[in-house]
Amino acid sequence: MSHFLVAGGAGYIGSNFIKYLMDTSDHEVTLLDNLSTGRSEVVESLKGRYGSRIVFLKSDLGDPEKLHPYLHKRAVDGVFHFGAFSLVGESQYDPMKYYYNNVARTLSLLKIILEHEIRHFVFSSSAAVYGIPEKTPITEEAERKPINHYGKTKAMIEEVMEALSGREDLVYASLRYFNVAGTDEEMLVGECHDPETHLIPIAVKTALGLRDHLALFGTDYPTPDGTAVRDYIHVTDLCRAHWAAFEKIRKENEPLTVNLGSARGYSVREVLETVQRVTGSRFRILEEGRRPGDPPVLIASSEKAGKELGWKAERSLEEMVTSAWDWEKKRSEDGLL
Ligand code: UFG
């Protein structure tokens, strides 16, 4: 049995990962979160289900005053770092928030864990590091050319990890997520962003009647139907890849950078058709101009993930939409929306 530090464990992907780890192993975690975007209900649900296997440490990311004393007492075998602000649009008008939290605080976290001789670090990176890719599907060798501050913060941390790797005994896995959707099968934790900006949760909320219409951003992209194309991946598949990546770097002590996507692209219209089919709701779609900073097409090459991790995305778009739909219905029935 090992004990892990999960930074940002009260957020969407961090909490799904903790649930996955609890269900598939006997490991324990320290859930580190300042609850700025993470939710206290998620911490309560996880603690309610898994009890003392989860220790909640309420703290800012990389706060030396909280983390040093904690890590003096508690042996930790690795860190999974999900704690980041992740709204592309917001990063453009409030870059300080992004550079301070996603970069400065992450550097502090790295410094602290290395001082405690914790070497294995799994980092949530993003397809946003690629910017507008020259080739599709995107391989990991493609240049990092982020076009927004959010993507730049992820690229900066990748550069720092590369600089530290080998020098400071850091062994990292940088996982470049594509478009993550859905929730755990039992719907214990789920996806709740405030404000919500992602396509699938907004579409299912609209299907539920919580919004009057869905705004479709951009119909003049150079794609078959004119709308932007993305590579969607179910959060449970993503969680499984995190564990595979951790095991790989722990065994081989070599850094790893890998895309996590399905290698299959869906246009916004295709996603909306799937949502309308799954939910049985013909909600209103209003065509609008492009959203600034949106690349036309982002599709992962998933070859490296297959080769290095023996991993591939298994769940379909329909399963992601069904999962997101079931989750929003449950929240609505529970009076939480
Ligand atoms: N979209 C709409 N209407 C909406 C919301 C989204 O048309 O109400 C469109 C967007 O313009 C985009 C597509 O749906 O073309 C997907 O948008 P999302 O906001 O769901 O996701 P993004 O592709 O913008 O970004 C997500 C993550 C980023 C990550 C990126 C990597 O939020 O952090 O995937 O692929 F960098």
pLDDT digits (tens, 9 = 90+) for 289-306: 999 888 999 999 999 999
Best of 153, 200, 294 for a ligand 1 pocket test (most atoms within 8 Å of beta carbon): 294
| Rounded distance between C-alpha atoms, residue 184 and residue 186, angstroms | 6
**Domain ranges for the chain:** 3-181+232-261
Find the mean pLDDT for residues 257-276. 98
- pLDDT at res. 268: 98
- Of 30-44, 103-117, 322-336, the poorest mean pLDDT is in 322-336
More confident residue, 219 or 334: 219
**Residue 134 pLDDT:** 93
How is residue 59 written in tokens? 């703290």
- Buried b / exposed e across 189-198, counting CB within 10 Å, b at 16+? bbbbeeeeeb
In short, whether 138's Cβ falls inside 6 Å of ligand 1 is: no
CA distance 271 to 1: 41
pLDDT at residue number 334:
85
Helices marked H in the chain: 12-24, 40-50, 64-73, 88-93, 95-98, 106-115, 149-164, 199-207, 235-252, 268-279, 303-309, 317-333
Kindly report the protein residue whose alpha carbon is nearest to atom 18 of ligand 1: 198
Q: Whole-prediction pTM value?
A: 0.97
Q: Whose CA is nearest to atom 20 of ligand 1?
A: 198
Which atom of ligand 1 is nearest the CA belonging to 126?
36
When pLDDT is cut at 50, 70 and 90, the band that residue 31 belongs to is very high
Helix axes 268-279, 317-333, angle to 10 degrees: 50
Query: Which amino acid is residue 185, in one-letter code?
Result: E
**Catalytic residues, which ones?**
150
Nearest-atom index, ligand 1, CA of 203:
8
Nearest Cα residue to 188 out of 331, 320, 8, 82: 331
- The mean per-residue pLDDT over the stretch 103-108 comes to 98
* Mean model confidence pLDDT for the chain: 96
Residue 79: pLDDT band by 50, 70, 90 thresholds?
Answer: very high
Q: Per mean pLDDT, which range of 73-77, 138-142, 189-193 is the poorest?
A: 189-193
The token pair at 95 is: 């870059």
Could you give phi then psi for residue 191, rounded to 5 degrees? Answer: -115, 120
Statement: residue 337 has pLDDT above 80: no
Distance CA 33, CA 11 (A): 8
Token pair listed for 205: 């909320």
Q: pLDDT over 70 for what percent of the chain?
A: 100
Q: How far is CA 305 from CA 170, 173, 309, 310, 330, in A?
A: 21, 12, 5, 7, 33
| 144-169 confidence digits (pLDDT tens) | 999 999 999 999 999 999 999 978 88
- What token pair was written down for 66? 């909280």
Q: Which CATH number fits domain 3-181+232-261: 3.40.605.10, 3.40.50.720, 3.40.50.1820, 3.30.465.10?
A: 3.40.50.720
| Percentage of the residues of the chain whose pLDDT score is greater than 90 | 92
pLDDT the model gives residue 318: 98
Radius of gyration of the chain (CA): 19
Distance 275 CA to ligand 1 centre (A): 15
